[in-house]
Amino acid sequence: MAASVSQGSTASLWVRRIVLVVLGLIWLVPVYLFLANAAKTTESYGISSVWAPEGIAGLWSNIADAWDRGRLSRGFLSTAVYALVAPLLAVVVGAAAGFAIVALRLRHGFVWFVVIFASTIFPLQMILMPLFLGYAETGLYDSRQGMILVYTAISVPFAAFVMRNFFSGIAHQVFEAAVVDGAGTWRIFWRIYLPMSMSALVAVYILQATLIWNDLLLGLTLAQSETTRPLMPALSAMQSTYGGSTMPTVLAGGLLVSIPTVALFLLTQRVFSRGLSLGQF
d(CA 188, CA 168): 15
Report residue 36: phi and psi, to 5°.
-65, -40
Q: Indicate whether 52 and 105 sit together in one domain.
A: no
Q: Tell me what pLDDT residue 153 has.
A: 93
Give the 3-state secondary structure of residue 71.
coil
The pLDDT of residue 70 is 60
Taken in order 77, 79, 80, 86, the sign of the CA dihedral is: positive
Are residues 135 and 30 part of one domain?
Answer: no
**Confidence (pLDDT) at 280:** 47
Measure the CA–CA gap between 153 and 232, rounded to whole angstroms. Answer: 20
Model pLDDT, residue 281? 43
Angle at 23 between CA 267 and CA 268, to 5 degrees: 10
pTM: 0.84
CA separation for the pair 101, 112 (Å, rounded) = 8
∠ CA 162-179-198, rounded to 5°: 30
Give every residue of the chain whose pLDDT is below 50, as ranges. 2, 5, 241, 243, 279-281
Q: Which domain holds residue 154?
A: 64-279
3-state helix, strand, coil in the chain (%, to 5): 75, 0, 25
Specify the CATH number for the domain of residue 251.
Answer: 1.10.3720.10
Are 84 and 26 part of one and the same domain? Answer: no
Q: Are 226 and 71 in contact (CB under 8 A)?
A: yes
Q: Say whether both 78 and 161 belong to one domain.
A: yes
- Whether residues 152 and 74 share a domain: the answer is yes
To the nearest 10 degrees (0 to 180), the angle between helices 72-102 and 198-213 is 140
Task: Supply the pLDDT for residue 23.
Answer: 92
First to last CA, the chain: 41
Beta-bridged to residue 56, according to DSSP, are: 54
pLDDT digits (tens, 9 = 90+) for 162-220: 899 889 888 889 999 999 988 888 999 999 999 988 888 988 999 999 999 999 999 99
